[in-house]
Structure 1
Amino acid sequence: MSIDVQEAIKAIREMLPIIDPEEDYLTIVAAEEKIAASEAKRKKELDEIHGNLKSLTRLLESARVSSTRPTSVPSAEAHASALNELDRNRLALAKAISDAEGLVASREAELTALKEESRRLEQYDPAAEHEKELDGTALRLQLYKGMGFEPIIDKDKNISKMLVRSQSGDIHTVDFTTGKTDLEYTQLLWKLASS
C-alpha cells in the first residue's frame, strides 16, 4: 500500500487552513512556560522538602544525643561497681575504726598500769631497797655465773678479768686491762658467750 504523493500534497493543502503556525508556536511557548513554571514549583517544593529533611535530621540527632547517657555519667554497671567499692571501703573503715578503738582501750589500760607503776615508784624507799640490794649482790653474781660469766676480782676488789663459758662449753678469758671501751668489752663478752 503505497501512498500517492499527489494525494498527500492534496491532503496537506486541505489542512493548511486548520494549521496555524503562530497558534502552534504560542501553544508551544505556553507549554514551555507551563513546564518551566511547573519545574520551578517542583524545584521550590524539593528545596523546601530538603530543608525540612535537614531540620528533621538535626532534630533527630539532638534527640538521639539527649536520649543517650552522657560520658560524664557512668553506666549502670560502672555505677553498681562504684557502689560496691564504696561499700567495701565503708566496711574497711568501720573495721579500722573498731581496731583503733580496741587499740585506744589497750593504751588506756597500759596508761592506767603505768600510772599505778608511777605511783608505786613515788612511794619507793631507796634506803630500804638498798638493804635488800646488799643481799641481792650475791644473787646477781649467781645469775651472772648462770649465764656463763664469772668475774675475777683483783687485790683492789675491782673486776680485772671475766671468765666466759660459751654455748659450746669452751671457757674464754677476757682481760679488762687492755684499754678497750665498755662497748667493745660488752660486744666481745656476748660474742664469746654465744659462740
Structure 2
Amino acid sequence: MSQTLTITSKEELRAIIETIKDAVSIANPEQDQDCRILEEMKINLKQQRQERNQEIRDTKAKVKGAQQVLEQARQAAERPQSAPSAETMAARLEAVDAEMHTTCKHLENLDALVQSKTVELAENTKLARELESRDVSAEHREMLDGTTLRMRMFTRLGFRTESERADGVVSKIIAADHFGQRVESVDLGQYSDVSDFELTKRLWDVVAIPTP
C-alpha cells in the first residue's frame, strides 16, 4: 500500500529536492545496464527518425520532379492555341498545290516562248549575215539599170512619163504615135477609178498605128 508524502513547509520541499539531486548524481548510467540500453535505443530511434525524415524529403522531391515532367508532357501533348486547325491546314495545302500547278504551267509557257524566240533569233541572225554578205550597191545599180532599160523601151514605144510631184511619182504619161501626128497627155489622176487593163488599152490606142 502506497503512502502519501505530505509537505508542510518550504524547508521540507527544499530538503526533498536536494535528496533527489543527490540520488541522481550518485546513479552512474555507464554502470547501469538498463540505462545504457535505453540510451542506445534512444540514439537509434533518433537516427532512424532522421533517416526516415530524409527519405520522406527525398521522396517528396522525386514526386515533385515527376509532377513537373508530367505537366510538361501534358502541355506538349496539347495543341497550342496559336496552331491552325486541321481544316485550315488542309485548305492551305490545297492552295499551295494550286499555286505550284499554276507556277509549273507558267514555266512551261515561258520555256515554249524561249524556244520560239531562240528559233526566231537564229533566223534573224542568218538573215542579218546574208544581208551583210550582199552587195547592196550592186543590187541598186542593177535595179537602176533595169529601170533605165524599161524607160528606154517605153520611150521607143511612144510613151514618156512626167512627174509634177516632189516625191517623183509619175502623174502623167505622154503618148505619141510612131509618126508624131498624134500626141496625147494622159493624166493618171483622171483614171484612178479605171482598171489597169482599161488604162493600158487607152494608151495603146493612142500609139497604135492607124489602119489605112
Q: TM-score range by the shorter chain?
A: 0.3 to 0.5
* Structure of greater Rg: 2
Q: What TM-score do the two structures reach when normalised by structure 1?
A: 0.37
